Amino acid sequence: MGQKENQRPTPQQKPSVVREGGMTYDDYAALDDGNRYELAAGRLELMSPSPSPRHQLLSYELLRTLADTCERDYIILNAPIDLILSPSEVRQPDLLLVRQDRIHILTERGVEGPPDLVVEILSPSTLQRDKVDKAKVYAFYRIPEYWIVEPQTFVLEQYILEKERYELTAVYHGEEPVSSPGMPCISFTMQAIAERIPDIGPRAAGTKSNP
């Protein structure tokens, strides 16, 4: 299986389609070239560069906060994790939660079926993918709740599945308590998350950018 391109996208580019259509999970799992991919309707898409430290710190703080109140009832997983929604649809969300009584959807391959909550943390290169493409996919596979988190402003958008599409039901920021209609264990504020994340500059003092 030849790879058409092996260049990571810049923050301004959309994810590169490496192969158009016809691929399955088995093809995806056989790749071992050091790159990160998702499988979108059988298309192999090259993901953006590795997440920034701010992105990773935010992911960790969200995971830790959710674990404080929800780990008795939910399994909480963070990236990289394969979310296998069908043989031709494999995504890698930043965080996901699965109810303990649905542990059967966890396998050696990944999470095989819709989790109860999926969380994506935005970056410039994933804006279109997370807000439009993934929202459609997650709704199609009937994931009940979807969060999109902006790491610069610490704003959390909460989408709840209504029939066949997501509805934006709340936008949380500051000291407004985050809650979920389907997950009563969730209770925190974005302000508390933000206070635990250090201010990270564009690059360390004394370093030079690559030419």
User: Mind listing the pLDDT tens digit of every residue in the chain (211 residues)?
Assistant: 333 333 333 333 445 666 667 899 999 999 988 888 999 999 999 887 778 899 999 999 999 999 999 999 999 999 999 999 999 999 999 999 999 999 999 999 999 999 999 999 998 777 777 888 999 999 999 999 999 999 999 999 999 999 899 999 999 999 999 999 999 999 999 999 999 999 876 654 444 544 4
List Cα–Cα distances, 41 to 44, 134, 194, in angstroms. Answer: 9, 11, 36
CB 82 within 8 A of CB 90: yes
The pLDDT of residue 32: 86
Structure tokens at 17: 């389609």
Amino acid in position 12: Q
DSSP tag of 106: B
pTM of this structure: 0.85
List Cα–Cα distances, 77 to 106, 161, 167, 189, in angstroms. Answer: 11, 21, 24, 20
* Cα R_g (the chain), whole angstroms: 17
Burial of 207 (0-12, 13-18, 19+ CB in 10 A): exposed
CA dihedral (155, 156, 159, 160) positive or negative? negative
CB 167 within 8 A of CB 135: no
